[in-house]
Chain A
Amino acid sequence: MKKLVIIPAHNEALSIKSTVETIRAKAPSYDVIVINDHSLDDTGKILKDNNIPAINLSVNLGIGGAVQTGYKYGAINGYDLAVQVDGDGQHDPEYLKTLEEALINNNADLVIGSRFIDKEGFQSSSLRRSGIRYFTGLIKLLGHQTITDPTSGMRMVNSKTMKLWAKDYPRDFPEPESCLMALKSKLKVMEVPVIMKERQGGKSSIHILKGAYYMIKVTFALILEGVRSHDDA
């Protein structure tokens, strides 16, 4: 079984090496591919010097375009499952096993690591949590399934979902929208409890000032996704 870890990295020079090393130590059966999203710091050099497999984007595509590159790479190279792990060290590779077991044992197409099932670890601010709860409600309304952590970046997919997302993936703030996309394509989506840490380096792509824009943009994107017709994947 070919398994791929996709690590989108934009200016993650501080943490990328340790992120990759941790994954290699804790999940040795996985291939690692870093998508270097046109980093302006030393990320590219660090990847090269340490011989870490990387795809270097010559134009900054943003998180959606970077992650999609990973899914395309996975689909082209015949991977059976792929998992996104953020380059900032927020995700503990310890959980890859949990996600993998859930995916395989339940024959699921998409497994999301959720912070809010057991409510342990880094829980984000209460403002963000209410925002996330709102998206949970909206996705429930449009996709008829409760996803407790639709903004989680820790997601594992099988080749079916990989192909769907390789073809079409949202550009910015992709998590909630791609999640609804999977639901609307009749894919089997499930969640497993995970514990996340606070980010090590880099910064969240969601700043406080951008919060309102994020809410409006994602709401709009979800509603659009809700009315869009989908073939079953």
Chain B
Amino acid sequence: MMTLKIQIIIAVMIAIFVAVLFVMTVKKSIQPKYTLAWFLISLGILILDIFPNLMTALSDAIGIFSPVNMIFFVGFLYMGFIIFALSVALSRMSGRVTSLTQEMAILRKKIEDKEEESK
């Protein structure tokens, strides 16, 4: 079983994280769609933290000894998923940045040439 101590520590960590997440979303340093993913995992972990019995049955079923490990395991999988999705998003983004940079530089050259002509 989880001790009350670790339950409180986890709850406090999540509370701080959610607060930071909220502030960053308000300041627009993170897009709401990402906020949502991170908020959901925080909420999930918090629920399991408050009611560890929820997890006991499942952790028994897949052979994990203690519910706290189950929380970490599920959290780890979910984070892995988020990070992978970010790699995909980043790849797409970097392709777009490349195209934009190229198009912009070619256009700038064209404008410079026009200005040169009209002189």
A residues adjacent to B (C-beta < 8 A) = 35, 53-59, 61, 65, 68-69, 72-73, 76, 171
Contact = CB atoms under 8 A, between A and B. Distances in A.
Contacts of B105: 35, 55-58, 69
Question: What 9 pairs across the A-B complex have the smallest Cβ distances?
Answer: A69-B102, A59-B101, A55-B105, A55-B109, A65-B98, A57-B105, A73-B106, A57-B101, A61-B98
Nearest to A66: B102
Interface of B: 97-98, 101-106, 108-109
Q: Is the interface of A mostly helix, strand, loop or mixed?
A: mixed
B55 to A, nearest CB: 40
Given A35-B105, A65-B102, 13 more contacts: A53-B109, A54-B109, A55-B106, A56-B109, A57-B101, A58-B105, A59-B97, A65-B101, A69-B105, A72-B102, A72-B103, A72-B106, A73-B109
A58 B98 CA distance: 10
Nearest to A64: B98
A57 B97 CA distance: 11
A22 to B, nearest CB: 23
Contacts of B98: 61, 65, 68, 171
Given A65-B98, A65-B101, A76 B106 contact: yes
Contacts of A59: 97, 101
A58 B103 CA distance: 11
Contact of B102 (A53, A54, A68, A171): A68
A72 B105 CA distance: 11
A177 to B, nearest CB: 16
B103 to A, nearest CB: 8
A69 B104 contact: no
Contacts of A53: 109
Nearest to A36: B105
A55 to B, nearest CB: 5
29 contacts: A35-B105, A53-B109, A55-B105, A55-B106, A55-B108, A56-B105, A56-B108, A57-B101, A57-B102, A57-B105, A58-B101, A58-B104, A58-B105, A59-B97, A59-B101, A61-B98, A61-B101, A61-B102, A65-B98, A65-B101, A68-B98, A68-B102, A69-B105, A72-B102, A72-B103, A72-B106, A73-B106, A76-B106, A171-B98
